[in-house]
Structure 1
Amino acid sequence: MDVKWVIDLMESFGAPGAGLAIALENLFPPLPSEVFLPLAGFTASQGGMSLVAAILWTTAGSVVGAVVLYYVGALLGRDRVRAIAAKMPLVKVSDVDKTEDWFRRHGRATVFFGRMVPIFRSLISIPAGVERMPLPSFLAFTAAGSAIWNTALILAGYFLGENWHVVERYLGVASKVVLGAVGVAVVWFVVSRLSRSKAQERR
């Protein structure tokens, strides 16, 4: 993918430019944060912006983009969102459906963990809006998950320097680990709830 326009943004506006790139990545999922964030870290290592500013601005950009999609889901509803997704290039309706199903099965925690999974990272905001998840909770989970994801990738790019682009190769494995962790957490939650219910029935 040609990232020249992202480089131009960062060179022209510094950390706010990186934040704008990440906001756009949230609104248009095919744009890869797996590329933008390590690139921001590399730019910081070259003195183009401060490391702290890069993390703060990209996290702010993540939250802004997520809030826009939250309100898209809240205002348009499921059917209209699917119809719009069907007309967007590089966006699969099946991805929207999978994300919505994931949200319904696993609840609010998906807003946090979903920030660390490609495609889901952006789309998870839509079912949160459709289901009218309380906005304060949505903002808190989004900011926390985004801060962790952004910090990890920016630091990787910062320390890898000119080899920042290798980060993208390993993120598929990392995303599977996160999905696995979510699955384990959900199973633990269900088992603990069932055990608690049985214990109460015995009393």
Structure 2
Amino acid sequence: MPDVPGAQAILDFLLGIPEAIAYTVIAVGSALENIFPPVPSDTFVVLGAVLADRGSLVPVGVLLSAWAANAAGAMCVFGLARRHGPAIFRTRWGRRLLRPHQLERMSRFYERHGLWAIFFSRCLPVLRVIVPTFAGFAGLGPVRALVPIVTASLLWNAVMVAGGILASRNVARLLELLGRVNAWLLVVAAAVLGLVLGWWIRSRREEQE
């Protein structure tokens, strides 16, 4: 994402609307990532921080808007997965995705390592959506999911706000740097997904044997 499509247009739009609506746009952008991962939630937060540095918004307001919306969106997706997961994986297509013994192993993993898995995944593109969702499928308790989601979302968005304020006079350079960071994080996420896929294939073979 060296050149963030529409970033300047978003900034110009936020500069021209009332504060309350600007906070709402930041919140919606942060929440939508949990439903549609390609939404550039970090870009909304960084541009909100730029506006805060220029006096249009308040840094704490930007942080709270992004944090609350992002964490709430993640918990909504988690809750839906937790509620409907058992029924989904009893269907024909659900059993093709995860067999009962795979779902049981995944549940044990989340019980042992769920807190840290969710926490670190919230800093990685794509995985920040997938890991909490499958935590819901695995039946992880709401409180055990809430703690890492809220904590990681707060820390990550605080870093984005601080970075946006520090580099607000060079928005293009800031967004270019953010794009490079996200690109490397995406590589890490892809490696983790590769390991998960390897586990999925291996566990299927073990069942057949």
CA 1:9/1:123 → structure 2, altered by over 3 Å: closer, same or farther?
farther
Task: State the one-letter code of the partner of 1:109.
Answer: W
- Distance in 1 (CA, whole Å) between partners of 2:48 and 2:14 is 10
- Output the CA distance in 1 between the equivalents of 2:188 and 2:181: 11
The aligned counterpart of 2:57 is 49
Q: 1:104 to 1:56 in 2, by over 3 A?
A: same
Distance (whole Å) between structure 2 residues aligned to residue 64 and residue 46 of structure 1: 28
Q: Which amino acid aligns with 1:40?
A: G
Q: CA deviation at 1:75?
A: 2.5
Q: 5+ unaligned residues in a row in structure 2: which ranges? A: 92-96, 98-104, 192-209
Distance 1:37 1:17, change over 3 A: same
TM superposition score normalised by structure 2 = 0.65
Q: Alignment RMSD, CA only? A: 3.3
Moved more, 9-18 or 59-68: 9-18
Q: Is 1:124 paired with 2:150?
A: no
Q: Distance in 1 between matches of 2:166 and 2:136?
A: 37
- Counterpart code for 1:73: A
Equivalent position of 2:182 in the other structure:
171
- Go from structure 1 to structure 2 and tell me whether the alpha carbon gap of 1:42 and 1:69 turns closer, same or farther (over 3 Å shift): same
Q: Quote how far apart the aligned CAs of 1:19 are.
A: 1.5
Measured in 1, the distance between the counterparts of 2:163 and 2:123 equals 15
Scaled by the length of structure 1, the TM-score of the pair is 0.67
The alignment-based identity, stated in percent, is 22
CA contact (8 A) 2:29 2:40 kept: no
Deviations 1:134-188, CA, capped at 9 Å, x for gaps: 11221111010001111111211221112331222223335667999xxxxxxxx
Residue 59 (structure 1) aligns with: 67
Instruction: Flag the 1:9–1:135 CA change in 2: closer, same or farther, 3 A.
Output: farther
Question: 1:65: how far off?
Answer: 0.6
Partner residue in 2 for 1:17: 25
Q: What amino acid is aligned across from residue 45 of structure 1 in structure 2?
A: D
- 1:195 alignment partner in structure 2: none
Q: Is the 1:38–1:156 Cα contact (8 Å) retained in structure 2?
A: yes
SS in 2 for 1:63: helix
> Are 1:138 and 2:145 matched, yes or no?
yes
